Amino acid sequence: MNIAVVGTGYVGLVGGTCFAEMGNQVICVDIDESKVAKLQSGTVTIYEPGLEVYFDRGIRENRLSFTTDLAEALEPADVVFLALPTPPAEDGSADLQYVLGVADDIGKLLAANPDWGYKVLVDKSTVPVGTARRVIEAVEAHGLKAGEHFDVVSNPEFLREGVAVEDFMKPERVVIGTDSERAGEIMTRLYEPFVRSGNPIIVMDEESAEMTKYAANSLLATKITFMNEIANLCDLVGADVDKVRRGIGTDSRIGSKFLYAGIGFGGSCFPKDVQALHRTAREEGYEFRMLQAVLDVNDDQKTVLVPRITAALGGEDLTGKTIGIWGLAFKPHTDDVREAPAHVVIRELVARGASVQAFDPEAVETTQAAFEHTPLEGPGSLTYSESAYAAASGADALVVATEWPEFRRPDLDRVRESMKQPLVFDGRNVFDSKRMAELGFTYSSIGRPSYE
């Protein structure tokens, strides 16, 4: 099949590359000229395990190419994916300017080139209920007719950053929202090779498909937040959230995934999607109280370690104190730092005068860009270390903010000996509390008792 992918971010680049790996002919379009130039020269622009092999093969075998010219991608395409940003607008609703802007451009091009034929336009971005209808209107505004010249399908993406390629190649389910039989058949044919192990392709109406994505992310964010509140309570009553997790996770109604307590969720999806669903509800006159609670609790959770750090280091003023940070990405195996809890912690520490030295295996460049965009404020400073050991060296305290595998089994004797004070604040519960005490650390984690 001939495929166009508009937007080559995490979703578009992974999706386009995986469609090419499945033998399709794929052209990806982006307005970011420097990004397209890099992709054209064979450089993968994001860090995502496994992506490079498929990317290289797609280019080598001429199934995958990149352009800044929408028309070039649109002309041969049977299916056009919109993998565009839907960031939160000021009121928390999803900003649809990119999606509707491109829909308008596509309408113009299709109207001017009737010989390009019927196209399936696919909303891959996470968009509020009713967006498919608005995309249809934007295209029809150019004199075209849905069902005849084009159809619009809602096909929400469920990939997880860090395992995006694996998720895209073997999705647990594919959701296709359309009332058009023709578009539904084309989409089913496209996705069949990805679900050969028997996972379902679920076809439904556009509105339900749009809602499915928000419901999934909001439920997952709620599950994490619930466990974070259980952890906070464990801290107060002397229970151990790890034991509680195992105790409840064996209940098949609950399931063992997404029950890990920590310093909150981040990323480009959960915070904005929970916010957008809350906003959608409000627009309909319904106050979705649980979602507001999830957002509020998560905001607080990101800074739950800060008072513990200041208390351990002698007060609010952290001038002259050095603090090591392990992890900048919002989760392991990605360079994505959008809404990363580590960044919030760093902001708080720098505001109090601390000298922060941070290490992340993949997310230093993205962090530098983020802090260039929204600078740190306060008398403290941030520097980047070459290794986890270097970030701990000379530190009065060490904070674990992202659970990269390499942080799980470091030489802890070496870490302790290099630190000014053996203080560890583990925001991801990567270490064993008793062992940390035995190794001579003063150790504090989320929802688990500390030992002397």
161 interacts with ligand NAD by CB under 6 A:
yes
State the chain's maximal CA–CA distance in angstroms: 76
Contacts of 302 (CB under 8 A, 6+ apart): 263, 264, 266, 341, 344, 345
86 is in an annotated binding site: yes
441 is in an annotated binding site: no
Choices 27-35, 113-121, 234-242, 295-303 (CB under 6 A): range interacting with ligand NAD: 27-35
Closer residue to ligand NAD, CB minimum distance, 32 or 240: 32
Closer residue to ligand NAD, CB minimum distance, 161 or 235: 161
- Which amino acid makes up residue 129? V
157 interacts with ligand NAD by CB under 6 A:
yes
Closer residue to ligand NAD, CB minimum distance, 52 or 105: 105
101 interacts with ligand NAD by CB under 6 A:
yes
272 is in an annotated binding site: yes
Nearest CA among 178, 169, 179, 186 for reference residue 79: 186
**Coil, strand or helix: which one is 287?**
coil
Question: From start to end of 387-441, where are the E strands?
Answer: 397-400, 423-426
Q: Which of 17, 24, 93, 125 lies at the binding interface for ligand NAD (CB under 6 A)?
A: 125
Place of tokens 């992890």: 327
Choices 3-11, 109-117, 317-325, 386-394 (CB under 6 A): range interacting with ligand NAD: 3-11
Query: Do 39 and 29 touch, CB atoms closer than 8 A?
Result: no
CB of 46 to ligand NAD, least distance (A): 7
CB of 65 to ligand NAD, least distance (A): 15
What does each C-alpha distance from 407 to 14, 324, 368, 414, 451 come to in angstroms? 27, 13, 21, 13, 21
CB of 13 to ligand NAD, least distance (A): 7
30 is in an annotated binding site: yes
Nearest CA among 396, 389, 424, 426 for reference residue 410: 389
Nearest CA among 234, 235, 267 for reference residue 248: 234
Closer residue to ligand NAD, CB minimum distance, 14 or 234: 14
Closer residue to ligand NAD, CB minimum distance, 11 or 59: 11
Query: Do 275 and 302 touch, CB atoms closer than 8 A?
Result: no
Task: Tell me, residue by residue from 357 to 386, as one string, x for binding to ligand NAD by CB under 6 A and - for no binding.
Answer: ------------------------------
261 is in an annotated binding site: yes
Query: How many CB atoms neighbour CB 70 within 10 A?
Result: 20
Count CA atoms within 13 Å of residue 264 on its CB side. 22
31 interacts with ligand NAD by CB under 6 A:
yes
Helices (H) and strands (E) in the chain, counts: 18, 14
259 is in an annotated binding site: yes
131 interacts with ligand NAD by CB under 6 A:
no
Q: Which of 4, 6, 224, 400 lies at the binding interface for ligand NAD (CB under 6 A)?
A: 6
84 interacts with ligand NAD by CB under 6 A:
yes
257 is in an annotated binding site: no
Residues engaged in binding ligand NAD (CB under 6 A): 6-12, 29-32, 35, 83-86, 98, 101-102, 125-126, 157, 159, 161, 268-269
